[in-house]
């Protein structure tokens, strides 16, 4: 999949950074991205070898935004051939979770691990990954409103072609929202747009010279719909 993405974009002259969750925290995936000359920020898993290093009292964390503290280290997991850069973010647990007295200072924090080959600072790496949260909204919208991901045919390549067409339609919809809708409507999902402008609770009325849509008096978006026609 990664090689196919790069093959599609290689002629665009883009600097590509892969931002992935912990499901892609794998040595083979990292090696593939590195061999293609791209960068990555991937959420890591809290393996004991990592946790042991960052909970050492000698490790210095730098305080950032909203009480978050970050640090960095270069290490290799037991199954890796090469050492890589890790960024570690820790956040103080809720007071109720810290009520239990512990002899280990590090147990008062929740730790989050990120592996990266970028040159960003530790704080910048964490901020960059957190922007992925908005990507989840796009994924859910495409999945539930456009049925992206459903296997419609038995052929893998036929399904891939359908998927590409679905994503093209979805991206065109996003561009339409950016160019032609108000800020309050931009965050609305496809289902809401269908209710407003397509699935109208009205009926067609034919007159001598024209055909008009008569909306129900209870249609909640009547004013917006009429403005869109003017």
Mean pLDDT throughout 121-141?
83
Q: Which residue has the higher pLDDT, 123 or 211?
A: 123
For residue 219 the two structure tokens come to: 């249609």
In a domain, 186, yes or no: no
Q: With pLDDT > 90 as the criterion, what percentage of the chain qualifies?
A: 23
Mean pLDDT of 33-51: 91
Please name the residues in contact with 3: beta carbons below 8 A apart, sequence gap of 6 or more.
32, 36
Would you state the pLDDT for residue 63? Answer: 87
- Predicted confidence (pLDDT) at residue 27 exceeds the cutoff of 80: yes
Most confident of the following: 52-61, 150-159, 198-207:
52-61
Inside any domain, residue 194: no
Residues 122 and 141 in one domain: no
Q: Evaluate whether residue 223 is within a structural domain.
A: yes
Same domain assignment for residues 106 and 35? yes
- Least confident residue range of 18-27, 161-170, 172-181, 211-220: 211-220
Distance in angstroms (rounded) separating the CA atoms of residues 221 and 207: 24
Q: Are both 140 and 126 inside the same structural domain?
A: no
Q: What is the pLDDT of residue 202?
A: 60
Same domain assignment for residues 13 and 95: yes
Does any domain span residue 74?
A: yes
In a shared domain, residues 107 and 204: no
Average pLDDT over residues 190-199: 72
In this structure, are residues 117 and 92 in contact, taking their beta carbons and an 8 Å threshold?
Answer: no
Q: Is the pLDDT of residue 98 over 70?
A: no
Average pLDDT over every residue of 123-152: 81
Cα–Cα distance between 113 and 47 in angstroms, integer?
Answer: 10
Pairing status of strand 62-63 against strand 39-43: unpaired
Structural domain includes residue 144: yes
DSSP 188-214: --HHHHHHHHTS-SEEEEE-SS-EEEE
- Into how many domains does the chain fold? 3
Structure tokens at 209: 């010279």
CA distances from 113 to 72, 152, 193, 200, 207 (A): 10, 38, 39, 48, 67
Domain membership of residue 220 as a residue range: 200-229
Q: Does residue 64 share a domain with residue 8? A: yes
Backbone angles phi, psi at 83, to 5 degrees: -80, 145
155: tokens are: 């052929």
Same domain? 10 vs 105: yes
How far is the CA of 149 from the CAs of 114, 161, 178, in angstroms?
A: 28, 12, 25
pLDDT value for 194: 73
pLDDT at 33: 93
Does one domain contain both 46 and 158?
A: no
Q: How confident is the model at residue 113 (pLDDT cuts 50, 70, 90)?
A: very high
Domain assignment present for 188: no
Span 118-137, mean pLDDT?
86
Q: What confidence category does residue 73 fall into, taking pLDDT thresholds of 50, 70 and 90?
A: very high
Q: What is the pLDDT of residue 89?
A: 92
* Residue 119 and residue 53 in one domain: yes
Is 88 in the same domain as 120?
A: yes
Same domain (yes/no): 99, 80: yes
* pLDDT on residue 114: 96
Q: Is residue 126 assigned to a domain?
A: yes
Identify whether residues 163 and 222 lie together within a single domain. Answer: no
More confident residue, 121 or 211: 121
**Most confident region among 34-43, 126-135, 145-154, 171-180 by mean pLDDT:** 34-43
| Any domain includes 189 | no
The whole-chain average pLDDT of the chain stands at 80
Confidence at 173, pLDDT banded by 50, 70, 90: confident
Show which of 130, 158, 192 is a domain's final residue.
Answer: 130
């Amino acid at each position: 999949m990664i090689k196919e993405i790069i093959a599609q974009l290689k002629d665009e002259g883009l600097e590509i950074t892969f931002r992935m969750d912990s499901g892609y925290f794998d040595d083979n995936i990292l090696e593939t991205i590195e061999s293609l000359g791209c960068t990555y920020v991937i959420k890591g898993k809290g393996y004991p070898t990592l946790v042991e290093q960052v909970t050492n009292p000698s490790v210095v964390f730098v305080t950032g935004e909203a009480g978050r503290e970050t640090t960095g280290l270069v290490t290799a997991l037991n199954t890796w051939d090469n050492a890589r850069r890790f960024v570690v973010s820790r956040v103080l647990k809720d007071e109720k979770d810290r009520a239990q007295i512990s002899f280990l200072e590090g147990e008062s924090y929740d730790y989050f691990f990120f592996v990266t080959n970028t040159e960003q600072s530790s704080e910048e790496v964490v901020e960059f990954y957190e922007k992925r949260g908005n990507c989840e909204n796009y994924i859910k919208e495409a999945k539930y409103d456009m049925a992206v991901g459903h296997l419609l045919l038995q052929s893998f390549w036929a399904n891939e072609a359908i998927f590409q067409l679905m994503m093209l339609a979805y991206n065109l919809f996003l561009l339409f929202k950016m160019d032609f809708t108000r800020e309050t409507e931009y965050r609305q999902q496809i289902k809401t747009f269908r209710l407003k402008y397509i699935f109208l609770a009205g009926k067609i009325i034919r007159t001598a010279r024209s055909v008009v849509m008569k909306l129900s008096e209870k249609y909640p978006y009547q004013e917006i719909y009429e403005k869109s026609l003017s």
